A and B are shown apart, each in its own frame.
Chain A
Amino acid sequence: MSLSFDFTLPRRDFLLELQGEFGDTTIGIYGPSGAGKTSFFSVLTGLEKPEKGRIVLGDRVLVDTEKGIFVPVHKRRIGVVFQEKLLFPHLTVKENILFGERYAPEKHIELDEVAELLGLPGLLDSMPSEISGGEQQRAAIGRALMTSPDMLLLDEPFNAVDNSLRATILPYLKNLRDRLDIPFLLISHDLPDIQRLTDQIYFMDQGRCAGFGRSIDFYGDRVTRDSGFVNCFRFTDPQDLGAGLYSAAVKDVPDLRMIVPKAPSDSYSLVLSPRAVALARQRIKGLSVRNQIPGYLKKMIRTETHVLCIIDAGVTIASQISVIAADEMKLKVGEPVCCLIKSMSFRA
């Protein structure tokens, strides 16, 4: 199932003007507050009508203003998980989840499986007001899934009601992404949150697309400058080294292992701030830093205070160093460098 769109919609302070083509993957929609992310979702779901344009999902034309096509909201088969969750207060969690089942033309998933995937079995008979914010979020996701949608939109799923929400929702989202083969579109104003799930990111700024691709390719751009960009590594095959450390293989990169402080499962991801990556000309002996990863300097982005270095070490690693350090080291693109990463710098 693929999604292509090209439409305009005038908003109060800007013109929403978006084009794009998304495949069958998880795509993060990133942009600062007021960039038009939620309006984008409203247009996709049909809650708002674009002034002109065309939206096609799979082989169905949802909107074509020239031909006068506008598929109404309830016939779009696009699952939405709203920021405010919006569980119906008069129905139990189970009734909420089953709400849209009867409208699905074909059934791809059963209640038991949804409940299992989202960790909901014990909550089915509760009322929405009796469960926590994270549980409501999961129930809302389950409710959207039971309609067997062709695409799932998640609006700020990490927007924390409680701080632990992120931790309680992320593993479930990963589960879903791996189990269902429908496109996931995920809005967030927090780049690391998106990076934890996907590296396909659609950057939005003032109602327009500011870039689409891997976050690292847009690293340092206006949109991502203050975004808290992180390196995100996917690990497999962790081996316990004792004393709380693990040696884990970097996914899809042969012969590259990193020493990390966490191994929650056989396949997982950890993030790393570019500031936690130091650079050296060569390997250094007698150092406490556990990870010394050789690579080539692929790209350098200078700002007033720091230099962003993109290093190709089989996997792409971003490092942020000071201008003074970069000048002193006389770093040049194409040269070999060694990334120094303390194992304790990796975060979930």
Chain B
Amino acid sequence: MDSATVLTTLFLSIRIALAATALNIPVALLLVYWTRHEFRGKNLLDGFINLPLVMPPVTTGYILLFILGKKGLFGSVLFELFGLRIAFTSAAAVIAAMVVSFPLIVRSIRISMDMVDPRFERAALTLGADRKAVFFRITLPLILPGVINGMVLGFARSLGEFGATVTFAGNIEGVSRTIPLSVYALLQVPGKEKEAGFLVLLSVIISFAAMFASSVLNQRFQKRRSNEPKF
């Protein structure tokens, strides 16, 4: 395995994980914001969102294939109308990563959102801010630690995604062969343990860097709001 292939795998992994996280965050934010208050069917919705967390990823991949595959429920329509193929593309890898990491992001944001005192938002309304402004100037900054935590968790989960990806997106070099898939493929070939080990090391470094960045950021937020007087 040459360095070009390693780089391709590395960048593909990061690109897929970043895309999945970037697409998930706004959706998760909106979902948590709109489902903040108790309503009928909230538990049902929560159960549905959290499903990928407890389901074997391969089954998630199967369901995705069933829905979005070329002959799937929705995928067949897309293919016939627009000639669009989703399964076994990079997009499929992104979708697989999105689905499995979404519940983690939602959870993290929801925990933060539950801690936001709605009276702050009401106070902001009385100061002239409309709902949108209140969200961006009050709610979002207050839940930012949870959003960042969700981003890191989601990114790490996406980076490590295997089962759903291999089922729904395949294991195609340059398309869907992310680091874990590559490690798996290398381990199938005798004498490639060293290369596999190198990729494992890379993923450890990336994961660690993400966790480190998130804890530094969180610390910074805490410091800004701390009780310590400034000297």
Contact = CB atoms under 8 A, between A and B. Distances in A.
Contact of A79 (B119, B125, B126, B230): B126
B225 to A, nearest CB: 5
Interface string B202-226: 0000000000000000000100111
A144 B127 contact: yes
Contacts of A143: 127
Interface in B110-149: 117, 119-120, 122-130, 133, 137-138, 141-142
A315 interface: no
Given A74-B128, A100-B129, A89 B142 contact: yes
B227 interface: yes
A216 interface: no
A88 B119 contact: no
Contact of A99 (B122, B137, B225): B137
Contacts of A82: 119, 123
Contacts of A144: 126-127
Indicate the size class of the contact surface on chain B: 20 to 34
A18 B9 CA distance: 71
Contacts of B190: none
A74 B132 CA distance: 11
A147 interface: yes
Contacts of B221: 90
Nearest to A90: B141
A267 interface: no
A130 B126 contact: no
Contact of A126 (B126, B127, B137, B230): B230
Given A74-B129, A104-B128, A147-B127, A129 B226 contact: yes
A103 B127 contact: yes
Nearest to B228: A130
Contact of B129 (A76, A79, A103, A125): A103
A324 interface: no
B41 interface: no
Contacts of B229: 130
Interface in A283-342: none
Contacts of A110: none
B126 A84 contact: no
Contact of B124 (A77, A88, A102): A88
Given A47-B125, A78-B126, A84 B226 contact: no
Interface in A79-101: 79-80, 82, 84, 86, 88-90, 99-100
19 contacts: A45-B126, A74-B125, A74-B127, A77-B128, A80-B123, A82-B119, A86-B119, A90-B225, A99-B124, A99-B137, A100-B129, A102-B128, A103-B127, A103-B129, A103-B133, A130-B228, A130-B230, A144-B127, A147-B127
Interface of B: 117, 119-120, 122-130, 133, 137-138, 141-142, 221, 224-230
